[in-house]
Amino acid sequence: MSKNLCPNSKSCPVFAGKGETGDTPLALYRNVFCYRGVNGWGNCKTYIINQKDLKEVNDRKEKLKTIDNPGG
């Protein structure tokens, strides 16, 4: 896998052509966002939302650890 390819590409519906790219053809969308390294991914709404969701899940896991083991 190219280091410039978005790490979400295998599971991303937009990358698979099943998501919304507006008026932009899929090949162009991929070149602008998916194959551009972090500079491209960082401008992709799908990537940003995924990262935010991932952070929230990890934050919840940390909170649950604290609740399960309040003394540390």
Cα 5 from Cα 68, distance rounded (Å): 38
Minimum gap (Å) between residue 19 Cβ and ligand SF4: 7
∠ CA 31-36-37, nearest 5°, is 155
Is 32 one of the binding residues for ligand SF4 (CB under 6 A)?
Answer: no
Out of 1, 2, 9, 57, the only residue in the binding site for ligand SF4 (CB under 6 A) is 9
Q: Using CB under 6 A as the criterion, which residues of the chain lie in contact with ligand SF4 when the complex forms?
A: 6, 8-9, 12, 14-15, 33-34, 41, 44, 46-47
